[in-house]
Amino acid sequence: MSEKSNVDPQKTKAMQERTKERNLIVREMRSQGPLTVEELSKAVGIEKSQLLKHLIAMGQFGKASIVGERDNQFVYGLPQERKQA
């Protein structure tokens, strides 16, 4: 006897879009290695401010981290890449 939860369809759509964008970010970091916000933004087509929000959230969940610095910019990568940067 479980009740079906009433999740707002707009919230569900927004969550799916965030997940899709974060998967693009992870895929790009896997293929290219650690990248700056500028490089990631160009590669995945997400505005820098939105991309930074994703990276902060992903960092809180252990999905991305700052792995170094290049040209006075932080370089973001997957957590296991920390040793390589």
Backbone angles phi, psi at 26, to 5 degrees: -60, -45
- pLDDT tens across 20-59, in order? 999 999 999 999 999 999 999 999 999 999 999 999 999 9
Report the pLDDT value the prediction gives residue 66, as an integer from 0 to 100: 95
Backbone angles phi, psi at 68, to 5 degrees: 170, -165
Report the pLDDT value the prediction gives residue 85, as an integer from 0 to 100: 43
Strands (DSSP E) found in the chain: 35-36, 65-70, 73-77
The type of residue at 54 is: H
